[in-house]
Chains A and B, each alone.
Chain A
Amino acid sequence: MLRFALHTLRLSGLCFLVACLLGRPVIAQVPAPDEETYRIAKQLNCPTCAGRNLADCPTETCAQWKAEIKAQLDTGKSAQEVLDYFQARFGPTVLQEPPKAGVTAPLWAAPVGAALIFLLAAGAAMWRASHRGESANVAAADAAEDPFVAALEAEVRRDG
């Protein structure tokens, strides 16, 4: 475990490093990559490799899709318009983030609903539990298990 965490810097060929350092860095900069196409592709699903996004996928079809994004951007469309185009053509399946309306609305509602229902149920359970059974002397139970913990609890939590 420790080994994985610690090897943040990996130098495999020391000789090569020296060669690197001796060579003069060249100023020529490569033109900036097409950032916008990439950002849009990141939000679309790859049509061929399941579970990956379009940007990370190297297949031929994906290259065509990326070219399509680029072409649409060049005609002056906004990022959202390009995404809308893909959604209109291939359905909500194409988006990495399913839309919050339409068929995928229940998907988004489910976690919120579950959290609310669970919390309500917990509230109801607590209400019931507070109206049933006997009260017990918790401090005494704590003390029986461990006098030190009980003393600590009493000192830092209850007085005041």
Chain B
Amino acid sequence: MFTDLGHLAVIFAFAACLYAAVVSPIGAWRNDDRLVQSGRSAALMTFPLILIGSLGLWYALLTHDFGVQYVASVSSLATPVFFRITALWGSQNGSILFWCLIMSAFVAAAMLRDWDAAGDKPLLPYVTMTMALVLGFFLFLQLFLANAFVRYDFPPQDGRGLNPLLRHPGMIIHPPMLYAGYTGLLVPFAFCVASLITRRSDDLWLRSSRRWTLVGWAFLTAGLLLGGRWAHDVLGWGGYWGWDPSENKPLITWLIATPFLHSAMIQEKRGMFKNWNVFLMMLTFASMFFGTAFIRSGLLTSVHAFAASDIGPYFMGAMVVILTACAALWLTRLDVLRSENKLDSVFSREGIFLIQNVLFLSTAFTVFIGTIFPILSEAIGGTKITVGPPFFDQTAGPQMAALVALMGVAPLLAWGKSNGAAVGRQMLAPLIFAVAVMIALFAAGATQPVPLLLFGLCAYTLAQTVMEYVRGARARMRSMNESAPVALVRLAQKHQRRYGGYLVHIGVVLMAIGVIGKGFYGYDTITTPAVKLNESFTVGDYTFTYRGIRPVPCEFNDCQTIQAMLLVTSANDGRVLGAVFPHRDHYPVQQHTATIPAISGTFNTEVYVLLAAWEDGGATASFQVFINPLINWIWVGGIVMILGFVVCFWKAPEREAVASPAAARRVVGAGAPAR
């Protein structure tokens, strides 16, 4: 009953979207504020309506209402409460509803902002319209193609249960994060479209949506990281990233949204590259539709495609419509998007930002072409040619390394024009540090040239970024007579975007160190032959002694778990390091076996052990071992990135009072020559 009410609420939400999409532009056209406000209210209402819909489905999940087809497909009587709640996004139909819920939350939040105070009221009707159209598309999919509320004529006694692979904390938080990332980026997109429709030439849309862009970006980043962690803990590949289509899809969007965050600053500071920002925003949005279209259509096979179905063509159609509309809108507004300023020098912050932008885009293109090559080759030559990780490592890898290098140079360059000698002087200390690190690593036995150089690059960029804090804090200590810690905190408080951004850079470098460590020094073994009880085998510096297997109670009583026990000792001096317990979980209902690794070792060297097989009740067993050096730096780097975002995002009240830099530029910039 309550579930059917939820269904009805979602239908109303769809109607509200259609209403808002039609009424808002009419209100703007007729200059009738009542219609605009009516559209705004309708868009606002979608959130409570879809929330009722989601609560309805949650109710069905919690009360084991297997009459609802979706409930029977993702839960069973044995599914614990926690996973019945997360089952809302455990499969396609529910996940689209959940996607709509998150998207409508962003829509409602955007509608609730103080439009009068922000001074961007002229954008409101078109922001409403854009958001309502996009949300309406997803609600259309939900209602007509992937309805989560459809009932069976004859309800089954029990459901099938949640996909066992999805029972990891990383997987439970990862989809909501990614959804929030994608849907958060809808806000700047809507502002961009509204700005173009109203033929504005200023940076209002960038400034109004800046914080939303950051939120979307941060969620996307967190979603990617959690996805990596999930793959590492559950899939049993020994890695964190497999260049799988469903991983590449959010990565491509991330690789386009990140340069946008940077190039938006050029327009805010200098009124340049307006076309470019519009282009990047539209590309960001299109990439989201593109990825979803390909993966959900089943055109690209993925190791974790949980949601292949027939809604792909609709996504494809929506993408074509969006791209055409965006291109038409953009091309008819080229005249208003003229640059206000002249580029004084390539050797400037804006110059290097542009280089960084195109490098990001070519990296995104690289990942894109590798991802769709199987389809292209099938369409052209008739055979589906698989593109494995080596391609991505060799092509996207060097471009990413170049980006790390740019991070070490860009902060030194000033807006407008830079002084070469001053920049060179500031590069000296970090360069010396980098050389010292390389010598130390070489002495410690890291003699392969490529990773050695890459570690040196990371050391340089890290030192340079840290130096930015030191310089800023020193300047404050001198001018304001503050102690070092106070100066540092005040510095970050006063210039959140700048120093939060540098913190994100530090996170990226830490992550790069992890990627290089695992990529160049990672080691994995072939599955061992059957190891007898109390026999040992050695991998790298570690000796493993097999102590038998035992059944252990399964976490949620719906699987049979066999756990192996291995003693780990140092291969060099025989010291006992600990024990590891890799296990295999067999889920009879889903006919699925999960190989769950045992993860051990030190912070810098992870030991990752899989139980491959066993015979005669555990008389013999075989294992696979991965040694993953520095992999933990990736997770630490990710946490630092998110902290950097928090510094950027944290609202400092006094910053809001500052007048728009574009306005200031127009007042003070007229006529005065650049220094």
Which positions in A face B, CB cutoff 8 Å?
1-2, 4-5, 7-13, 16-17, 19-21, 23, 25-31, 33-35, 37-38, 43, 45, 49-53, 55-56, 91-93, 95-98, 103-104, 107-108, 110-112, 114-115, 118-119, 121-122, 125-126, 129-146, 148-149, 151-153, 155-160
Contacts and interface: CB of A to CB of B under 8 A. Distances in A.
Contact of B339 (A2, A12, A132): A132
Interface in B360-412: 361-362, 365-366, 369-370, 373, 377, 381, 383-391, 394-396, 399, 412
Contacts of A112: 395
A130 B665 contact: no
Contacts of B418: 157-158
B220 to A, nearest CB: 15
Contact of B422 (A4, A8, A125, A158): A158
Nearest to B302: A51
Interface stretch (B106-114, B139-147, B152-160, B522-530): B522-530
A141 B366 contact: no
B642 interface: yes
B357 A8 contact: no
Nearest to A14: B579
Contact of A126 (B346, B413, B494): B346
9 contacts: A13-B565, A23-B534, A25-B536, A30-B528, A34-B526, A107-B385, A111-B366, A129-B343, A156-B471
Interface stretch (B64-72, B314-322, B445-453, B666-674): B666-674
**Most A CB atoms within 10 A — which of B425, B475, B574?**
B475
Contacts of B389: 96
Contacts of B303: 49-52
Interface in B338-366: 338-346, 351, 354-355, 357-359, 361-362, 365-366
- Interface-central residue, A27, A155, A157, by most chain B CB under 10 Å: A157
Interface of B: 169-170, 222, 225-226, 229, 233, 237, 242, 244, 269-273, 276, 301-303, 338-346, 351, 354-355, 357-359, 361-362, 365-366, 369-370, 373, 377, 381, 383-391, 394-396, 399, 412-416, 418-419, 421-423, 425-426, 471-472, 475-476, 479, 494-495, 498, 525-529, 531-532, 534-538, 543, 545, 547, 565, 567, 569, 574, 576, 578-581, 598-603, 606, 632, 635-636, 638-639, 642, 658-659, 661, 664-665, 667-669, 672-675
Given A33-B527, A51-B244, A114-B365, A133 B354 contact: no
A20 B169 CA distance: 30
B460 to A, nearest CB: 18
A110 B538 CA distance: 43
Nearest to A139: B675
A125 B574 CA distance: 63
B579 A104 contact: no
A143 to B, nearest CB: 8
Contacts of B581: 10, 12-13, 16
Given A8-B632, A50-B301, A144-B667, A157 B362 contact: no
B395 A5 contact: no
Contacts of B569: 25
A138 B414 CA distance: 9
B635 A5 contact: yes
Nearest to B669: A136
Contacts of B639: 1-2, 5
A93 B545 CA distance: 40
A8 B602 contact: yes
A136 B536 contact: no
A104 B342 contact: no
A30 B578 contact: no
A4 to B, nearest CB: 5
A14 to B, nearest CB: 10
Nearest to B601: A8
Nearest to B603: A8
A26 to B, nearest CB: 4
A113 to B, nearest CB: 9
Contacts, number: 299
Given A98-B385, A160-B422, A1 B642 contact: yes
Given A111-B366, A133-B338, A136-B340, A156 B426 contact: yes
Contact of B386 (A37, A51, A115): A51
B419 A1 contact: no
Nearest to A145: B661
A30 B529 contact: yes
A152 B472 contact: yes
A97 B392 CA distance: 9
A53 B237 CA distance: 10
Contacts of B672: 136-137, 140
A4 B664 CA distance: 46
A112 B301 CA distance: 26
Contact of B387 (A33, A107, A148): A107
B383 A93 contact: yes
Contact of B668 (A110, A125, A132, A144): A144
B381 A103 contact: yes
A114 B342 CA distance: 27
Contacts of B394: 97
A39 to B, nearest CB: 8
Given A52-B303, A142-B269, 12 more contacts: A10-B580, A23-B547, A93-B386, A108-B395, A114-B369, A122-B357, A136-B674, A140-B669, A141-B668, A146-B658, A156-B422, A158-B418
Contacts of A13: 565, 581
B200 to A, nearest CB: 18
Contacts of A137: 668-669, 672-675
A9 B598 CA distance: 9
Most central of A29, A98, A135, A148 by chain B CB within 10 Å: A135
A17 B526 contact: no
A134 B340 contact: yes
Contacts of A107: 369-370, 373, 385, 387, 391
B414 A114 contact: no
Nearest to A157: B414
A137 B296 CA distance: 51
Nearest to A140: B668
Contact of B638 (A1, A10, A126, A155): A1
Contact of B600 (A10, A118, A133): A10
A25 B674 CA distance: 76
Nearest to A34: B526
B341 A118 contact: no
Contacts of B661: 141, 144-145
A160 B536 contact: no
B383 A29 contact: no
Contacts of A53: 388
Given A10-B600, A136-B674, A138-B674, A130 B358 contact: no
A64 to B, nearest CB: 16
Nearest to B384: A93
Given A56-B237, A129-B272, A148-B494, A111 B669 contact: no
